[in-house]
Structure 1
Amino acid sequence: MGPWVFLGSEKIFKEVVRNHLPEKRPMDDLEMEADLPYEEEYAIGNLSPYSFYHGWYFPKKLDYYFRRYVLFEGVSDEIIEKWKQVYIYLLKKMTYRYNGKMVLLKSPVNTGRIKLLLETFPDSKFIHICRDPYKVYLSTWRLYKAILPAFSFQHVEYEDVDRLILEFYKNIYKRYFKEKRLIPKGNLIEIRYEEFVKKPVETLETVYTKLGIKGFEQAKPAFKRYVKAHENYKPYTYKIDEDVKKKIYSEWGFAFKEFGYTK
């Protein structure tokens, strides 16, 4: 995402980006295209130093970036305000670009920022998608194996990455379970990944209804076209041994219980 230039020079830079993107995303083999949506955290990272994603370049400091710019621990009020200003600036540009339409953001790190987001956007609506924690662990490892070799300037040991994956999930969900109570009634819906994959259009209708969002019938044909276009997509099949399962459950057992997944 080119947050500095997309209002005035989108056509020029989009072609540059399009010509240098791989056809598939390295972590899941889905298509990668300049017109597709991406996490706004990339834009925050391009606009400022206040992003966890800077840790992709310096993985030995991943924990530093996580604690400062996801949990905002040990960060001054001045830095928090600067982060808010960057976020507001980005969303104002996006809102202007799309003629005032509601902005839909997808960023896993926001799971740990509920209180901060509500301070900035009090009437925000939240969609949380939970997934079997075993699959989350394996999927996250697959992501790191794809991302770190491509972007990092440092070598980081397997054991260190594994520890961080376990710590990040644990910290972010302990924060989420605590702060989601702050969300006004009717502004949060929690859905399961497994159900979403089985019934994507029906699940989206539920999301629209529960959050009081208008326009589902107008959007429904586009949703159906997207689902049809990806009906032959086969997600990666994971294998996991008992020792790894024990390790995950010992750290994330609280999330299994909260979400209702079996050990």
Structure 2
Amino acid sequence: MSQKKNSKKGVLLPPAVGYSFHIVLKLISDNKINFKYYLRTIIILIVNLINFPFRTYERLFINPRFKNINIEKDPIFILGHWRSGTTHLHNVLSQDSQMAYTTTYQSVFPDTLFNKLGRLLFKGFATLLIPGKRAGDNVTLGSSLPQEEEFALGDKTPISFYYFWMFPTKIPEYYQRFIRFSGIKEKQLDKWKNEYKLLIKKAIKNTNKERFLSKNPPNTGRVKELLQMFPNARFIHIHRNPVEVFLSTQNFFNKMMPHLQLQNISKEVVDNHIVQVYKDLMSDYLEQRDLIPKNHLVEIKFDEFEINPIDEVKRIYSDLGINGYQEALPNIEAYLSSMKSYKKNTHTIKESQMNVLKNEWRFSMEEWNYVIPNNISIVKDE
């Protein structure tokens, strides 16, 4: 989709507007909300309450219909850090007419999907409010476009790493609890897995496609759990130069967090969290990577995908044994030709930050043979 048509202004609200009311109340009661975000919190509660009868109807009368429906084709999980090209890869592969996905609307209102009146009201509401582009990177947004399912995974079971957008001071704690599942009881984890499968079934039905294609960066550290759910799932890991990842994440958080947060946090603390989360996520992935059966994983470099997307897509289909490449190729080529190509900007990074990355992220740079990019300028600390 051409980005020229998607410049409309909008308002981003935390996805808690579509959550179970008891989940919202628990999040509010368990966390400190700064005064400046009280109005945003009240808006969340109001929208959530208006949505209550619609999502309750769907849970009682529509969701049970999916209980005995099987997920026929093994899902494909795109893994990788948030700023490693996962969105671009997801959008490209979603051009294949067999690929189902969670839409932006479903990610926010996962249980107001097939209730006709509720969908009419809230999809219209979402379409009106969603900006044409994402503030952090100008990626095109739309209620029916592919989205990460992590937003919806915290809907009924209190397990979602993306609670951090509202409560960023808890990023380290949320990583341990919601990606490593530390302290999560087995019964609660089983409920999360069942809710995940329900989400996938509803996404397949909603998009009228056959095979679920996931793009959910927190899953990069959950390979073991995903294989427990889907032993024959396919995995695509896309990685990018860690220095570029740091700067891109820093910029993305600075631009996105003000729209979603309910508590204050300094940029210095956010930077520290960025360093730690990347280190944990890549370490967890490398530790679990060998659990994936042979020929069920392909790893690609963001730079190579950016330069030769068709060759890399062909390799993905071939290496993972996915049918339908030739049929999907015209749509993929049309999508790629509609996208603007951007020259890389020259970025600067403080010498102290670079030293931290060299120390903390060295293992990742060595694993995938990365060096400091030529477009990065290192400046002395003031």
Q: TM-score interval w.r.t. the shorter chain? A: over 0.9
Partner residue in 1 for 2:113: 6
Of all paired residues, the percent bearing the same amino acid is 35
Q: Decide which moves more: 160-169 or 242-251.
A: 242-251
| Counterpart in the other structure of 2:145 | 36
Structure 2 Cα separation of the partners of residues 165 and 84 of structure 1: 27
Of 274, 277, 295 in structure 2, the residue corresponding to residue 186 of structure 1 is: 295
Identify the residue that residue 56 of structure 2 maps to in structure 1.
none
Q: Report the Cα distance in structure 2 between the residues aligned to 1:100 and 1:23, rounded to whole angstroms.
A: 25
Q: Which amino acid aligns with 2:112?
A: V
**Pair 1:86–1:234, CA change in 2 (3 A):** farther
Q: How many residues align?
A: 263
Q: Which residue of 1 aligns with 2:338?
A: 229
Q: Is the 8 A contact 2:179 2:221 kept in 1?
A: yes
The 1:124/1:110 distance shift into structure 2, 3 A limit, reads same
The aligned runs of 1:16-95 (5 Å cut-off) are 16-95=125-204
Secondary structure of 1:103's counterpart equals strand
Distance, in Å, in 2 between the alignment partners of 1:122 and 1:236 is 41
Report the alpha carbon displacement of residue 236 of structure 1 after superposing the two structures with TM: 5.5
Q: CA deviation at 1:139?
A: 1.0
- Runs of 5+ consecutive residues of structure 2 not aligned to the other structure: 1-106, 373-382
What residue identity is the alignment partner of 1:249? K
**What is the match of residue 205 of structure 1?**
314
- TM-score normalised per structure 1: 0.94
Aligned twin of 1:258: 367
Between the aligned partners of 1:53 and 1:237, the Cα distance in structure 2 is 30
Query: Comparing 8-17 with 216-225, which one deviates more in the overlay?
Result: 8-17
Name the CA distance, whole Å, in 2 between partners of 1:35 and 1:86. 21
Give the structure 2 partner of residue 101 of structure 1.
210
| Bigger radius of gyration | 2
- Give the whole-Å Cα distance in 1 for the aligned partners of 2:345 and 2:151: 25
Deviates further, 231-240 or 79-88: 231-240
> What whole-Å deviation, never above 9, does each CA across 1:49-90 have from its counterpart, x for those lacking one?
210111111112122211111111222212211211111111
Which AA in structure 2 matches 1:4?
D
Aligned residue in 1 for 2:94: none
Call closer, same or farther: CA 1:97–1:22 in 2, change over 3 Å. Answer: closer
Aligned residue for 1:168? 277
Measured after TM superposition, the shift of residue 40 of structure 1 is 0.7
Q: Distance in 2 between matches of 1:52 and 1:240?
A: 28
Cross-structure match for 2:250: 141
1:187 deviates by 0.4
Please tell me the residue identity of whatever aligns with 2:113. Answer: F
Relative to structure 1, the CA distance from residue 122 to residue 236 in structure 2 (aligned partners, 3 Å threshold; closer, same or farther) is farther
Cα shift readout 1:168-196 (whole Å, capped 9, x = no counterpart): 11111111101010000010000000000
Do the aligned residues in 2 keep the contact of 1:131 with 1:193 (CA within 8 Å)? yes
1:114 CA drift (Å): 0.3
**Using a 3 Å threshold, how does the CA distance of structure 1 residues 100 and 231 change in structure 2: closer, same or farther?**
closer
Which is worse superposed, 70-79 or 225-234?
225-234
1:240 to 328, 349, 352: 349
How far apart are residue 161 of structure 1 and its match? 1.1
Aligned-partner Cα distance in 2 for 1:211–1:20: 38
Aligned match of 2:76? none
CA contact (8 A) 2:157 2:188 kept: no
1:220-258 deviation line (CA, Å, top 9, x unaligned)? 111111111113445655322433222111100000011
Distance in 2 of aligned mates of 1:241 and 1:56: 26
Distance, in Å, in 2 between the alignment partners of 1:4 and 1:129 is 31
Which is richer in strand?
2
Summarize deviations over 1:24-44 as a string: whole Å, max 9, x none: 110111221112101011111
Larger relative contact order (CA 8 Å, sep ≥ 6): 2
One-letter amino acid matched to 1:6: L
For residues 365 and 226 of structure 2, the distance between their equivalents in structure 1, rounded to whole angstroms, comes to 25
CA 1:55–1:153: 2 relative to 1, 3 Å: same
Q: Is structure 2 residue 227 aligned with structure 1 residue 118?
A: yes
Between the aligned partners of 2:201 and 2:155, the Cα distance in structure 1 is 16
